[in-house]
C-alpha cells in the first residue's frame, strides 16, 4: 500500500545531489540567445522619447524589440486582456517592461538594457488607498456580502467597537526566480519551457502573442523552484518574451530575471486596509460584523477580483457571524499588479476577524481564546455568503491543541509575570488562533482536471496530469495514488513533466487543489485501465471475481497473476494500455452577483498556539514556541503534509513580522532584494515547534478522504501576530487596545507601544 505513508519527495535524491533539472538547467543549443527587459523608471506617465541606439550598439546585442514588433496581441494578462507585455504609449508602474533586449549572454543583455535613453511626461501616480479611493477608478464596483440585518443588529448590540487594521503585502521570494526558454520548431511552432504553475495559460498567451492557434504552442514544466502563487500568472511575461524573441530571431531564447528585476517587475500579495464595526454581547459572542476591505491591486487586474473575493470569503474565518456585511473595494494603483499568493486573499480576510476577536477580548478584559470559542462555527450555521457549514471540527481541534500546548496555564503565567513586573523591559505574549479555509476555485469552471496514464509492456507506468510540481509534493502524492491503484511500488511509476501536449486545457495548480483534482483524475484513468485488465483476466481465468491489485500482483478469487504478466498478456490480446482520466469537483456552485452559493467543496481546519517575547526598548521580538494541530483529512502522505504545515506557518509568520515592502513617495519599490526584504531565516523558526496532524477524514469523497494542505497552514502564522499583540498590550495602558498593524517589525511594535500610552512617537 503506497498511500497514507510518509514517502519522501519523489525528487528528493535529485534535489540533494543537484541533479534535479529546473528550467534554467535545461540544456539548450549553443546558439541560444538571452533576454533582459528595459523597464520604466517612473510610476505613471507617457513615454515622450525612447532612444534605443546605445542598447542596440552594445556588446553582444542581437536585437531590441518593442511593442511594435509583436505580431499578435500585446498582452500577458490572465483574464482581462489589460496587461501589455511591453509598454506602448503609457507606463503604469516603476519597473514596467518597455523593451526587450536579445543578446548573446545573460550578462550582456542585462548590461545593454540599462543603456536606453527614455524620457517621460510624468503624471502623478495613484499609490495610496486614499489616492485610489479619491481617483474613483476601481477595477469593478465594490462587491458586497450581506447576511441578516447587520446595521440594525449592530445598534441593538450590548457592546460595539470599531477599528481598522492595515496589513502589508508580501513578496513571494521563490528561490528560483522567473525563468523561461523558447525553442522554435518547424512550421512556426514553439516549444516553451516555463517555470509556471499554469502551463495552459502560458500556452494561450504565447499563442496570442505570436498570433498562432493553441496547437502550435507546447509548454513543458517539470518543476519549479517554488511558486506560492507567484508563478500562476507572472510566468506569462518571461515566457511570452522568450517566444516573441525566438519567433523573430529563429533562435532559442532564454530569460531569467535577475532577483532585483524579479522583485521589481512581478506582482506580490495584495495589501489590505480593513475597517470594522462590530456588535457583541457580554460574553464576546458576535451579533453583527460590518467590514470594509480596501486593497491595492496595482496597475492591471491580474487575479485581483478573485483574490479580493477570497478575502471576503474568509472574513468569517472560523466564526459564525449572525449578521454581517462585507464590502470590498478593488483599487487601481500605479504599482506592480498584485497577484496570487498562497492563501489568495484568504489570510488577509481572516486576519481582520482575528483582530476583531482580539479587540473584543481587550474590550471585555477576557482571554481572547474565550471570545474565539464563543463564536466558533457549529454545523448548521451559515457563512456570510449563505453556505451551510457541515464539516466543522474547529471546536474539538482547538480543545485538543489548547490541552496539548498547555495554553491556559502558560497564558496565566505570562499574565501574572507581566502584571507583577510592571517595569520589565522584556514581555512575553501568547495567542491561539484557528483556521478554517475553503477548498475549491471560486470560479467553478476551474475545478476540473485531466490525466494520462500509460502502462508499457514491461509493466512500467508512465503518468501525467495537469498539475505542476513546485515543491508541494503533488507528484509524489499523485504517484502514490497511481501506485496504490495498480498495487505496485512508487518506483514503478514514472512521474513526468507537465506538458500541454499530453493533458490539455488544464487549470492552474493553485487554490490548494492540485492533489484533490489531479489525484482523482489519475485515479479515474487507472480505474479505466484496471477495468480493462479485469475484463481480460475474468475471461482468461473464467471467473466473476473482482480483481484486486496489490503487491505487484492481480488477484481474482483463487487466481493470481503478476501485474507485469497481465500487462504483457493484455498487449498480446490487443487491449489498449493507455487511458485518460478526468475529474470535476461535485456540489459546488456560486452566484457572484447575489453573493450566495456553495463555492467550496469542503473546509480545512487547523489551529496554532504561539508564544513570543518583545523588547519594549527597541521593539525587537521573536517566537519562543509554537504548537500546531492541523486537519489534513486522512493524510495521503504525513511527511509531505507536515512539511506544508511547518513551511506554511513560517511563511505566514514572516508575512506578519519581518517581511516589509517599502515604496518611496514616487512609487519605487525600495525593498527589491534579500538584502532589504527579509523572509524568515533559519533562526527565526520557533525553537520549540510541535506540529501534529488532527485525526480526521474528509466527510466528502475526496481522494482517499484526504484534504488539501497547501494554503491553509499559511494562516497559522496569525498566532504569532496576536501573541505580539498580547505582549504589547501588557507594556502600557491596558485600557487601550494596541491595534497592531502588520507586518509587526521591531519598529511597528515600538510604535504601537508608544501609542498605548498616548506618548508621542516623533521627536
> Looking only at residues 399 through 458 of this chain, which bind other proteins when binding is defined by CB under 8 A?
424-426, 428
CA distances from 491 to 3, 64, 461, 552 (A): 14, 47, 9, 12
Q: Are 333 and 299 in contact (CB under 8 A)?
A: yes
State the nearest-atom distance from the C-beta of 59 to other proteins, in Å.
11
Residue 647 binds to other proteins (criterion: CB under 8 A): yes
> Looking only at residues 216 through 255 of this chain, which bind other proteins when binding is defined by CB under 8 A?
223-228
Choice among 232, 325, 659, 711 that is catalytic: 711
Q: What's the order of all strands across the beta sheet hosting 621-630?
A: 426-439, 602-615, 621-630, 688-693
Residue (22 or 582) nearer to other proteins, CB: 22
> Looking only at residues 269 through 288 of this chain, which bind other proteins when binding is defined by CB under 8 A?
none
Identify the residue among 282, 586, 675, 735 touching other proteins (CB under 8 A). Answer: 675
Identify the residue among 4, 5, 22, 536 touching other proteins (CB under 8 A). Answer: 22
**How far is Cα 700 from Cα 712, in angstroms, rounded to an integer?**
18
Residues 6+ apart with CB under 8 A from 311: 270, 272, 293, 295, 328, 345, 346, 348, 349
* Residue 562 three-state SS: strand
State the nearest-atom distance from the C-beta of 101 to other proteins, in Å.
13
Fill in the DSSP letter of residue 110. Answer: H
Residue 378 binds to other proteins (criterion: CB under 8 A): no
Pairing between β-strand 253-256 and β-strand 272-280 as defined by DSSP bridges: unpaired
Residue 186 in grid coordinates: 518547424
State the nearest-atom distance from the C-beta of 543 to other proteins, in Å.
43
Residue 564 in grid coordinates: 507485469
Stretch of residues binding other proteins (CB under 8 A), selected from 571-579, 596-604, 687-695, 729-737: 687-695
Identify the residue among 621, 702, 706, 752 touching other proteins (CB under 8 A). Answer: 621
Residue 19 binds to other proteins (criterion: CB under 8 A): yes
Place of cell 529546473: 22
Residue 614 binds to other proteins (criterion: CB under 8 A): yes
Strand-pair partners of 51: 117
Residue 173 binds to other proteins (criterion: CB under 8 A): yes
Residue (41 or 676) nearer to other proteins, CB: 676
493-522 footprint of other proteins as x/- string (CB under 8 A): ------------------------------
Buried b (16+ CB within 10 A) or exposed e, 198-207: bbbbbbbbbb
Fill in the DSSP letter of residue 170. Answer: B
Residue (580 or 676) nearer to other proteins, CB: 676
Cα 210 from chain centre: 29
**Which pairs from 561-565 meet CB under 8 Å and 24+ separation?**
561/537, 562/459, 563/459, 563/486, 563/487, 563/488, 564/458, 564/459
Residue 472 binds to other proteins (criterion: CB under 8 A): yes
Identify the residue among 208, 256, 454, 755 touching other proteins (CB under 8 A). Answer: 256
Residue (597 or 674) nearer to other proteins, CB: 674
> Looking only at residues 138 through 167 of this chain, which bind other proteins when binding is defined by CB under 8 A?
none
Residue 639 binds to other proteins (criterion: CB under 8 A): yes
Identify the residue among 334, 362, 418, 745 touching other proteins (CB under 8 A). Answer: 745
State the nearest-atom distance from the C-beta of 733 to other proteins, in Å.
18
Residue 6 binds to other proteins (criterion: CB under 8 A): yes
Residue 557 binds to other proteins (criterion: CB under 8 A): no
Residue 683 binds to other proteins (criterion: CB under 8 A): yes
Stretch of residues binding other proteins (CB under 8 A), selected from 11-19, 62-70, 287-295, 498-506: 11-19
| Binding residues with other proteins: total (CB under 8 A) | 99
Stretch of residues binding other proteins (CB under 8 A), selected from 275-283, 516-524, 526-534, 607-615: 607-615
Residue 21 binds to other proteins (criterion: CB under 8 A): yes
Identify the residue among 104, 490, 689, 697 touching other proteins (CB under 8 A). Answer: 689
Stretch of residues binding other proteins (CB under 8 A), selected from 93-101, 133-141, 169-177, 236-244: 169-177
What number of other Cβ atoms are within 10 A of residue 143's Cβ?
Answer: 18
711 as an active site residue: the answer is yes
Residue 270 in grid coordinates: 495584495
Residue 662 binds to other proteins (criterion: CB under 8 A): yes
Residue 738 binds to other proteins (criterion: CB under 8 A): no
Identify the residue among 99, 120, 174, 603 touching other proteins (CB under 8 A). Answer: 174
Fill in the DSSP letter of residue 115. Answer: T
State the nearest-atom distance from the C-beta of 311 to other proteins, in Å.
22
Residues 6+ apart with CB under 8 A from 233: 76, 77, 78, 198, 201, 267, 302, 303, 339, 340
Residue 29 binds to other proteins (criterion: CB under 8 A): no
Residues 6+ apart with CB under 8 A from 753: 616, 619, 728, 731, 732, 738
Residue (309 or 627) nearer to other proteins, CB: 627
Residue 562 binds to other proteins (criterion: CB under 8 A): no
Stretch of residues binding other proteins (CB under 8 A), selected from 234-242, 392-400, 568-576, 744-752: 744-752
> Looking only at residues 97 through 126 of this chain, which bind other proteins when binding is defined by CB under 8 A?
107, 110-111, 114
Give CA angle at 416 (415, 419), nearest 5°.
85
Q: Are 36 and 262 in contact (CB under 8 A)?
A: no
Question: Comparing C-alpha atoms, which of 749, 434, 462, 474 is closest to residue 636?
Answer: 474
> Looking only at residues 690 through 719 of this chain, which bind other proteins when binding is defined by CB under 8 A?
691
Sign of CA dihedral 132, 138, 139, 144: positive
State the nearest-atom distance from the C-beta of 703 to other proteins, in Å.
20
Residue 665 binds to other proteins (criterion: CB under 8 A): no
Strand-pair partners of 613: 428, 622
Q: Are 667 and 94 in contact (CB under 8 A)?
A: yes
Instruction: Give catalytic residue positions.
Output: 711
Amino acid at each position: 500500500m503506497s498511500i497514507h505513508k510518509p514517502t519522501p519527495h519523489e525528487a528528493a535524491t535529485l534535489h540533494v545531489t543537484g541533479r534535479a533539472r529546473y528550467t534554467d538547467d535545461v540544456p539548450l543549443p549553443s546558439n541560444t540567445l538571452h533576454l533582459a527587459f528595459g523597464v520604466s523608471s517612473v510610476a505613471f506617465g507617457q513615454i515622450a522619447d525612447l532612444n534605443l541606439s546605445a542598447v542596440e550598439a552594445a556588446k553582444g546585442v542581437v536585437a531590441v524589440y518593442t511593442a511594435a514588433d509583436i505580431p499578435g496581441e500585446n498582452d500577458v494578462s490572465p483574464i482581462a486582456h489589460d496587461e501589455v507585455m511591453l509598454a506602448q504609449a503609457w507606463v503604469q508602474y516603476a519597473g514596467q517592461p518597455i523593451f526587450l533586449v536579445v543578446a548573446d549572454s545573460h550578462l550582456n543583455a542585462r548590461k545593454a538594457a540599462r543603456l536606453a535613453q527614455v524620457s517621460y511626461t510624468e503624471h502623478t501616480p495613484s499609490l495610496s488607498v486614499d489616492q485610489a479611493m479619491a481617483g474613483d477608478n476601481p477595477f469593478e464596483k465594490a462587491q458586497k456580502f450581506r447576511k441578516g440585518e447587520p446595521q440594525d443588529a449592530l445598534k441593538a448590540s450590548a457592546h460595539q467597537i470599531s477599528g481598522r487594521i492595515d496589513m502589508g503585502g508580501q513578496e513571494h521570494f521563490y528561490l528560483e526566480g522567473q525563468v523561461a526558454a523558447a525553442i522554435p520548431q518547424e512550421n512556426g511552432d514553439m516549444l516553451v519551457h516555463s517555470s509556471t504553475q499554469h502551463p495552459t495559460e502560458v500556452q494561450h498567451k504565447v499563442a496570442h502573442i505570436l498570433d498562432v492557434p493553441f496547437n502550435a504552442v507546447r509548454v513543458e514544466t517539470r518543476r519549479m523552484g517554488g511558486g506560492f502563487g507567484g508563478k500562476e500568472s507572472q510566468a506569462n511575461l518571461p515566457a511570452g518574451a522568450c517566444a516573441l524573441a525566438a519567433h523573430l530571431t529563429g533562435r532559442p531564447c532564454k530569460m531569467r530575471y535577475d532577483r532585483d528585476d524579479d522583485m521589481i517587475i512581478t506582482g506580490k500579495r495584495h495589501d489590505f486596509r480593513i475597517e470594522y464595526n462590530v456588535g457583541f454581547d457580554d460574553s464576546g459572542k458576535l451579533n453583527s460584523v460590518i467590514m470594509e476591505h480596501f486593497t491595492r491591486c496595482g496597475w492591471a487586474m491580474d487575479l485581483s477580483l478573485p483574490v479580493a473575493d477570497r478575502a471576503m470569503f474568509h472574513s468569517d474565518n472560523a466564526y459564525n457571524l449572525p449578521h454581517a456585511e462585507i464590502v470590498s473595494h478593488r483599487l487601481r494603483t500605479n504599482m506592480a499588479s498584485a497577484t496570487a499568493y498562497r492563501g489568495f486573499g484568504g489570510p488577509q480576510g481572516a486576519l481582520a476577524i482575528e483582530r476583531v476577536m482580539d479587540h473584543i477580548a481587550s474590550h471585555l478584559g477576557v482571554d481572547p481564546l474565550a471570545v474565539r470559542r464563543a463564536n466558533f462555527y457549529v454545523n448548521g450555521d451559515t457563512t456570510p455568503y449563505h453556505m451551510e457549514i457541515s464539516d466543522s471540527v474547529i471546536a474539538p481541534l482547538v480543545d485538543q491543541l489548547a490541552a496539548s500546548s498547555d495554553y491556559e496555564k502558560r497564558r496565566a503565567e505570562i499574565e501574572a509575570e507581566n502584571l507583577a513586573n510592571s517595569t520589565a523591559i522584556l514581555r512575553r505574549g501568547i495567542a491561539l488562533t484557528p483556521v478554517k479555509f475553503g477548498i475549491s476555485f471560486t470560479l467553478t469552471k476551474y475545478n476540473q482536471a485531466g490525466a494520462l496514464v500509460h502502462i508499457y509492456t514491461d509493466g512500467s507506468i508512465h503518468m501525467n496530469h495537469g498539475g505542476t510540481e513546485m515543491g508541494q509534493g503533488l507528484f509524489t502524492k499523485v504517484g502514490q495514488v497511481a501506485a496504490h491503484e495498480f498495487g505496485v511500488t512508487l518506483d514503478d511509476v514514472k512521474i513526468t513533466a507537465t506538458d500541454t501536449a499530453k493533458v490539455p486545457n488544464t487549470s492552474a495548480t493553485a487554490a490548494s487543489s492540485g492533489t484533490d483534482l489531479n489525484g482523482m483524475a489519475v485515479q479515474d484513468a487507472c480505474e479505466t485501465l484496471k477495468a480493462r485488465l479485469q475484463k481480460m483476466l475474468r475471461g482468461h481465468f473464467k471467473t466473476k471475481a473482482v480483481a484486486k491489485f496489490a503487491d505487484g500482483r492481480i488477484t481474482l478469487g483463487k487466481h493470481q497473476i503478476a501485474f507485469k504478466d497481465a500487462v504483457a498478456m493484455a498487449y498480446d490480446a490487443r487491449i489498449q494500455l493507455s487511458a485518460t482520466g478526468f475529474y470535476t469537483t461535485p456540489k459546488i456552485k456560486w452566484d457572484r452577483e447575489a453573493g450566495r452559493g456553495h463555492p467550496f467543496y469542503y473546509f480545512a481546519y487547523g489551529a496554532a498556539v504561539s508564544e513570543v517575547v518583545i523588547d519594549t526598548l527597541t521593539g525587537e521580538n521573536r517566537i519562543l514556541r509554537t504548537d500546531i494541530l492541523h486537519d489534513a483529512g486522512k493524510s495521503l502522505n504525513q511527511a509531505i503534509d507536515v512539511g506544508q504545515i511547518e513551511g506554511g506557518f513560517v511563511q505566514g509568520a514572516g508575512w506578519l513580522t519581518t517581511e516589509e515592502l517599502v515604496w518611496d513617495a514616487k512609487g519605487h519599490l525600495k525593498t527589491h532584494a534579500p538584502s532589504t526584504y527579509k523572509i524568515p531565516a533559519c533562526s527565526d523558526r520557533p525553537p520549540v515547534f510541535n506540529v501534529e496532524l488532527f485525526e480526521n477524514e474528509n466527510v466528502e469523497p475526496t481522494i482517499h478522504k484526504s484534504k488539501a494542505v497547501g494554503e491553509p497552514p499559511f494562516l497559522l502564522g496569525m498566532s504569532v501576530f496576536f501573541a505580539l499583540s498580547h505582549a504589547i498590550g501588557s507594556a502600557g495602558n491596558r485600557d487601550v487596545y494596541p491595534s497592531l498593524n502588520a507586518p509587526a517589525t521591531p519598529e511597528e511594535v515600538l510604535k504601537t507601544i508608544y501609542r498605548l500610552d498616548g506618548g508621542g512617537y516623533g521627536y
